[in-house]
Amino acid sequence: MTKILWLRASLISKVVVYTLLALAAVITLLPFLWASINSIKTSTATFEPHAFIPFLNFEPTLDSWRNVLSDPQAINAFISSVVVSVGTTVFALILGVPAAYALARFQFPIRSGDIALWFLSQRVLPPAVVLVPFYLLMVSLRLVDTWIGLILCYSAFNLAFAVVIMRDIFRDVSTEIEDAAKVEGATPWQIFWKISLPLSVDGLIVTAVLVFAFTWNEALFASALTSQSATTFSALVLASRSTRGVDFNIAAVNTLIGIVPPVILYFFVQRYLARGLSFGAVKG
């Protein structure tokens, strides 16, 4: 961080900066607070005017928390989400990182930037359209409503991130050490595995977190490709809509529960973010 700018700033500037940051923080946190308040209301109370402060404006209840936490389907979905997100992350990295390395280090008949772009281009496909052939594919592979089916699907979608981000990160890693290793007679695999990869571990972690977060968020495919055993948490949230509409108190509980795993991850890795996510685009 650029302490120098801060140290030379005037008091007024400092006050302004803190005010803006505080404002940003409040706006960011307010919906979480609101979700917490909703989560201790009854479903009718979620639409009562001026029901803001528990005990004062409305009678809080833990019913919706009990409801969700005692629902085997919710717990199952939570486990599914963790398994699928972790599985996807691992799989996308196993496939994407070597490809990214190849694109960063070697010449191909096609410009490596264009190949990276090609990987990215599949993100443009409208999801609702590829969903149908994907479902048929899953049927023929007998993978409907399974974790593996979802992992296969998600890893293909998230491969693009792994390739694009990691390619830039590898390009950013100095090649001097690799060159030295070459002279020592290391094989290309050894150089990749023992030198480049360890040097890029920050970027690896960041990529993993992003893939995890994107997978965790996905609901459309999950709700179409699963019906019971592999239903993920986000698909379950999408399903908060019942015949009478959404039970917003339950949806609020799900919002809060659903944010826990990725945020925990985020807490642990945020110190890597700065170093890892420069995309190699900034030199200096």
Partner 1 sequence: MPSGGDVEKLEHLVHGYLKGKIGRREFVLGGLQLGLSLAVLTRLTAPARAANLVESAPEVPYESPITKERIDFLKTKPFKGTTINVMVLKATVGDGLKYHVPHWEEETGGKVNVAEVPIETLHQQIFSDLASGLGRYDTYMTGAWFYGDFFVPETPYIIEIDSFLADPRYPYWDPDQWLPSMRKLYEWNGKLYGVLFDGDAQALYFRKDIFADGQNNEKFKAKYGYELPSPPKTMKELHDAAEFFTGWDWNKDGGNDWGLALHAKVNEQGFFHFLSLSAPYVISPDNKYYFFNPQNMKPLINSEGHLRALEDYIKLAGAGPREEISWTLGQGWNLFLAGHSAMEPTWGDLPTLAQDPKTSKVKGKVGAAGIPGTTEAFNPITGQWKKYEFNQVGNSNGGSWHCVISRNSKKREATYDFLAFMANKKNAFFNSANGWTGVQPGMKFEYLPPVGTASLDEFKAQNWDPDDVVEYLKGYYSVLSAPVQEEYLRIPGTAEYWHELDVNISAVLGGQMQPKAALDATAAAWEKITERYGREKQKALYQASFA
Partner 2 sequence: MKAMHGRPAEYGAVFKYVLLLPAVLWVVAFTFAPLIFVIRYSFANYVLGMGITGYIGLQNYADVLASDRFWHSIMVTAIYVAVSVPVEVVLGFIAAWLVNLGAPWARGFRTIIGMPLFTMEVAIGYLGVTLFSSQGGLVTAVLELAGIEVPWLSTPSGGIAAAILLDIWRWTSFVFIIVLAGLSSISSDLYDAAILDARNHWQVMWRLGIPLAWPVTTIAILLRIIEGLKVFAIPYALTTGGPGTSTEVFSAMDYLTTVQFFNFGQGSAMGIIFLIMVAALITVFFKQMRKRLG
- d(CA 6, CA 45) in angstroms, rounded, equals 47
Label residue 199 exposed, middle or buried (CB < 10 Å: 0-12, 13-18, 19+): middle
Helical residues (DSSP H) of 106-146, grouped into ranges: 112-121, 127-140
Q: Is 83 in the site for partner 2 (CB under 8 A)?
A: no
Smallest gap, in angstroms, from Cβ of residue 76 to partner 1?
11
Q: Which of residues 102-121 bind partner 2 (CB under 8 A)?
A: 102-103, 105-108, 115, 117, 119-121
Q: Which stretch binds partner 2 (CB under 8 A): 63-71, 72-80, 131-139, 142-150?
A: 131-139
Q: Which x/- pattern over 119-148 shows residues binding partner 1 (rule: CB under 8 A)? A: ----------------xx--x----xx---
Nearer to partner 2, 74 or 160 (CB): 160
Smallest gap, in angstroms, from Cβ of residue 47 to partner 1?
6
SS3 241: strand
* 243 interface partner picked from partner 2, partner 1, none, CB below 5 to 8 A per type: partner 1
DSSP 58: B
Instruction: Give the closest residue to 221 by CA, choosing from 109, 125, 115.
Output: 125
**Binding residues with partner 2: total (CB under 8 A):** 114
Those residues with Cβ within 8 angstroms of residue 250's Cβ, 6 or more apart along the chain or in another chain = 43, 64, 67, 68, 240
Smallest gap, in angstroms, from Cβ of residue 37 to partner 1?
18
Q: Which of residues 159-198 bind partner 1 (CB under 8 A)?
A: none
SS3 54: strand
Hey, what are 143's tokens? 């993978």
Hey, what are 83's tokens? 């398994």
What's the Rg (C-alpha) of the chain?
Answer: 23
Q: Is 140 in the site for partner 2 (CB under 8 A)?
A: no
Q: Which stretch binds partner 2 (CB under 8 A): 59-67, 70-78, 142-150, 261-269?
A: 261-269
Q: Which x/- pattern over 183-212 shows residues binding partner 2 (rule: CB under 8 A)? A: x-x--xx--x-------------x------
Contact 149, 222 (CB under 8 A): no
* 101 interface partner picked from partner 1, partner 2, none, CB below 5 to 8 A per type: partner 2
Those residues with Cβ within 8 angstroms of residue 284's Cβ, 6 or more apart along the chain or in another chain = none
Q: Is 239 in the site for partner 1 (CB under 8 A)?
A: yes
* 182 interface partner picked from partner 1, partner 2, none, CB below 5 to 8 A per type: partner 2
Q: Which of residues 77-116 bind partner 1 (CB under 8 A)?
A: none
Helix, strand, coil shares of the chain, percent, nearest 5, are: 75, 0, 25
- d(CA 149, CA 237) in angstroms, rounded, equals 20
Q: Is 5 in the site for partner 2 (CB under 8 A)?
A: yes
Nearer to partner 1, 116 or 230 (CB): 230
